[in-house]
Each structure stands twice: as structure tokens, then as C-alpha cells.
Chains A and B, each alone.
Chain A
Amino acid sequence: MVTNIAMDRPDLRLRDTGPVAVDVRGLTKRYGAMAAVKDVHFSVGQGEVFAFLGPNGAGKSTTIKMLCTLAHPTSGQATVAGFDVVSRAKAVRRHIGLVFQEQTLDDQLTAEENLRFHAVLYGVPHAQIDPRIARVLDLVALTDRRKDLVSTYSGGMARRLEIARGMLHTPKVLFLDEPTVGLDPQTRALMWEDVMRLRDEEGVTIFLTTHYMDEAEYADRIAIIDYGSIIALDTPDALKASVGADTVDLETADDETALAALKRDGYTVKRSEDGLTVFVADEEAAVGPIVTAVGVPVRTVRAHRPTLDDVFLHFTGREIREQHGEALPMFARAHGARRS
């Protein structure tokens, strides 16, 4: 088993400062002899975007079901919005929004009717229902389709309507179980804009599960879960840093001279199969100075920063994609789109 830096830093796993939205201690769920979730500990701060990343069958949905009071924990405790998920189940339900892995809309009703139904079910005061519906439809940019039957919606639109519905009663925590599965890259990006806007404008805590690496990048912190256990938990950058430094690979006209020149300038360099590998703190910033420093013509430069794929590989010993028959569409890493 790989040693895990993040696991040695309890300050990152259990937040003792600031308001806590989700607090999980030793949560376990068994189905017969099989433990779907094993002794999981973590906490999520109010307003945080927290991602559960793991392959199929890792226990993501099971964890969400326990936190949403839909499944009884076999052992352990959890509080959501300050309420115990077992003893205060109804209070928990009032304070959470839920978007399940499977769609749960009535497609014979219009978007507005679906939302109205939900508002009444969650006890939204009568006078607030219309303004609130208008507001969440606006947040997910579906205002002009509000009178249409959901059966006429595309998969992406239905998903965004579900997110709007999840936010309708201003929950403290919004649970999203694989919110973007089956959506095309543009729709996924759009949906992420919606989610981030919700977080920024309504201050809701977002707890999501995904098996898309590029999606987990949006999260403030990521828990990697595999076979029911959390095997790493940290910010995306810290997780990536924990598996290794950034590198810049070079091919030059004269590698010997280049190696000497770089070493003289204080770089950590080693020879690789077809050139040189330079270890740096920040690949983007380092490329320019390195190319200048080598003093010989450079044929190719390739900068590399560890990705979450590398992180996953590092902690589990396999690639997340091996878990699926399908190849996952990896859209261009949205560094630019992230809040910095």
C-alpha cells in the first residue's frame, strides 16, 4: 500500500475551524458480507465544493445515500447541516438538496410544474414559491423553457432542471451524484458554470461524486474512494504535488552540453530515454528560462504537470479508466475556467 501524505494530515480531513456542513466519523455500510463503505472519516466546510472521486462500485452512491438518510449506516456517525442522519433524518432532508445518479423528474409535467411540486413538498412558503422558481430557473438558464414538458428536454437540460430543483428550497448542502454522466463536454461545462454560480451566489455546500478526473478539478477538495475506503483526501493541487513534481522534457542538438549548462544553473536534471528531464516547481513558468539556459538549439520541449489520472494511478495502482468498458471523454482540462 502506498503511503499517503494526505492521510497523515488530519487537519485537512476534519475541519475544526469554521462552520461544518457535513461531518462523517467512521461511517460503514455493509450489504451482507460485503462492505460497500468502510470506516470513512471526513468533514466538509460550509460553502465548500467537495468531490468524491472513484471508479464504479467504489461506494460513492452508498455514502451519499447514508448522508441523505436513504440508507441506514451499519455503524459510524454522520451529521449533515448539524443534524444527525439517523436520529434527525427529517431535519436533514429539509436542509439538503438532492440530485440522484438516475433522473427523477416527472416528464409528463412541465419544468415549472415539477418545481412547484417540489416547492410544496419541501414546505416553501406559498408567497416565496414563484420568485424562488423564477430564480432557480434563471440560475440554470432554463427560464424560456419553463412551460415545456420535461419529455421534450434534452438530457443536459433535464439534468440542469434537477439541479435547479435541488436548490429550490435553499438547502444548506446540495448532493450531486454523478451529475454530468452521459452529458457532452459543452453541456458538462455549462452545468459546472451553474454549479459554481450556485455556490457563489447562494453559499451552498456542494458534495458531488464523479468518476471524471477533469471534473474533480473543480472541487476545493477531493476524496479518492476505492473499494469503500478513502485512500486520499486533499486539494487537487496538493494531491498532484503528492505524486511528484512538474517536469519539462527536452530534446536538444547536444544533450551533454545542455545537461551541464542546466546543472550549472542549479536545475535538477536527469537523462531520459530520448533527451533530458528537468524537475521544476511550476512547469509553465520554467519552460522559458530552461530553453534560454541550455545554450544549444532545442528540438522539442514538453512540459508536464501531474494530473489527477496520475494521482489516481499513484494511490490505487491502476487507471480509473480501466474500470469501464468505455473510454471516458476527457475534455480539455479547464484550468482557465476554474476559480483561482
Chain B
Amino acid sequence: MTTAASASPTAQVTVTDTRISDEIRVVGMVWERELIRYVRTRTRIVSGLVQPVLFLFVLGYGMSGLVGTTGGFNFREFVYPGVVAMSVVMTAMFSAMSIVWDREFGFLREMLVAPVSRTSLVLGKTAGGATVAAAQGTIMLVLAPLVGIHLTPLLVAEVISLELLMAVAMTTFGVFVASRIQKMESFQVVMQMLLMPMLFLSGALFPLNGLPGWLTVITRLNPLTYAVAPLRQVVFSAQNMSAAARARFPTKVTLFGYTLPMGLELAIVVVFALVFFVLAFRGLSRTE
């Protein structure tokens, strides 16, 4: 083999010190990767739709008979915002938990050894997970007319904003959980033992009033409760509902007899997101 040191001065890279703009590019790149992977795995998009759709129609129609119609409003319409939230939460969680795959297939290492801050990596991952989750939740909006939910442009904008907030919170939570999981097999366990109970006990699928005491406590401790309620509130406020229907299907969360304003609910979700952002960052910072 001959030496050709002088033959190729092309494309030499000069690496300079860390700049903010570089870190922003990293956030963008990690975000873009999430999107590419999401678009590329159509099965994930479809399977992410099937479960919420099943809940919407099977549970919605099944329970409607039992719950009955109040002032032209039935259980299907009640459960619809919950099902949208469910699809957002599940997509966000799946997206975040892909870190477990990344660990298994080694790609996590490629990211962690790079000379970039962990903050950028977690931010990019969060932004990516939140984007695909909000997208998935927004796809669910096409089902609104089928269950008799009336959409306005303002409502769509509000719903997407709330989906994004919910998705950010769930992605940081998911990244934190994923950072604690070393094995792929644990993934299913987490989904069954953590995500499903959180969803079922968030008020997504049933009203939160008139529950037995212990269940009331659990639902109020569940941070998802405070993400689901605002979504239902904005959806319902855009519907023509009779006073009777509003009384039958309440959307407010009460805590010690005090009815939480939406701002406070959202603040709880923001705090939850921030706490888990820090924990996720810490979880990924541990070196060998």
C-alpha cells in the first residue's frame, strides 16, 4: 500500500469549542431522528391508533347503553377527550422508551460519548417524543365528527397545545423511566405496571366524581389526572351542552372540596415535566 498523504486535502474538519448554536443543532438532530423513526415505522402509527380507537368505540358504545344519554350527551362524547389523551400518552411513552432499544442496540452509547451536553440530548428527545405524540393525538381528531364532537379552529389549536404539554411531561417521565431500565424485557413490565394504571386512574375513561375514597386519593395523586382534565374542559366548552349534561359529566378536578382552576392543573403538569426533565438528565448522566 502506498502513502498518499498529500493527495487528499479535501474536506478537512476543524472542530472548534462548544457553541450554543452547536448545541441547538444537536437538539434539532435528535428531534429529527425521532421524527424519521416515527414516520418510518408505519406499524407503530397504526398500532398507536388501534388501542385508543378500540376504547373509543367498544367502551364508548358499550357504556353508552349503561350510562344513557343526558341532554343529548352520552358516554362516547365524554370518553373522547380521554381517548385522545390516551393516544398522546402512549405515543410519548413509547417514543421515550425507545431509549431502552437504543441502549440495547448500542446507539445510546454513540450519543452519550459525543462531546455534547446531556441537556441537549434530553431536550431533543423530549421535543421529538412530544412532536410525534402530539401528531398522533391530532390524527385522533379526525374521529371527532364520528362521535358527535364539534371541532372549531380555536378548539383544534387549544387541543394541540394541551397535547404538546401532556406529551412533553410524559416524554420526560418516560426518558427517566427508560434511563433506569437496563433490559428490554423490563419494557413490557413498565408498560403494564406503570402506564396502564396511570391511564386508567387519570379520569380518561370515567368521571372522577363520586369515587370511593381510596380511588379518589389515587386519582388525585396521579399527575396524568391534571393533564386529562384540561383537555376535556376545552373540548366540552366548545360543545353545546345542556346544564344537565354538564352536571352529569363533570370535567373539574376537586381536591379537598376545592375545585382546581385550569391554570393550576396546567401548572402541576409543568412542574411534573420539569422534575422529570431533571431526573431524566441525571439518569442519563451516570457513567460507568
The answer to whether B15 touches A124 (Cβ under 8 A) is yes
* B residues contacting the other copy or chain, number (CB 8 A): 39
A65 CB within 8 Å of chain B: yes
The answer to whether B13 touches A121 (Cβ under 8 A) is no
Chain A residues with CB below 8 A from B115, complex form: 90-91, 93-94, 121-123
The answer to whether B13 touches A128 (Cβ under 8 A) is yes
The answer to whether A131 touches B113 (Cβ under 8 A) is no
Which partner residue on chain A sits nearest B104 by CB separation? A102
CB-CB contacts below 8 Å: B117-131 with A: none
Interface stretch among B18-26, B65-73, B84-92? B18-26
The answer to whether A103 touches B105 (Cβ under 8 A) is yes
Q: Which of A120, A193, A196 contacts B26 (CB 8 A)?
A: A120
The answer to whether B113 touches A105 (Cβ under 8 A) is no
A13 CB within 8 Å of chain B: no
User: When A131-B11, A201-B8 are in contact, do A123 and B18 touch as well, CB less than 8 Å?
Assistant: yes
The answer to whether B105 touches A106 (Cβ under 8 A) is yes
Chain B residues with CB below 8 A from A203, complex form: 5
Annotate A79-109 by CB proximity to B: 1 below 8 A, 0 otherwise. Answer: 0000000000011011100101011111111
Which partner residue on chain B sits nearest A200 by CB separation? B3
The answer to whether A100 touches B107 (Cβ under 8 A) is no
The answer to whether B40 touches A125 (Cβ under 8 A) is no
* A residues contacting the other copy or chain, number (CB 8 A): 49
Chain A residues with CB below 8 A from B37, complex form: 106, 108-109
CB-CB contacts below 8 Å: B1-53 with A: 1-5, 7-8, 10-16, 18-19, 22, 25-26, 28-29, 33, 36-37, 40-41
A333 CB within 8 Å of chain B: no
Residues of A participating in the B interface, judged by any CB pair closer than 8 Å: 65, 68-72, 90-91, 93-95, 98, 100, 102-109, 113, 116-118, 120-126, 128, 131-132, 134-135, 168-170, 193, 196-197, 200-203, 337, 339
Please give 13 more A-B residue pairs, beta carbons under 8 A apart, in addition to A104-B109, A121-B111: A68-B113, A93-B114, A94-B115, A104-B106, A117-B29, A121-B26, A123-B25, A131-B10, A131-B11, A135-B8, A169-B15, A200-B5, A201-B8
The 8 closest A-B pairs by CB, nearest first: A104-B106, A121-B114, A131-B11, A120-B29, A93-B115, A104-B110, A170-B13, A94-B115
Query: Can you list 8 A-B contacts (CB < 8 A)?
Result: A70-B288, A104-B107, A108-B36, A116-B29, A121-B29, A123-B22, A128-B13, A168-B13
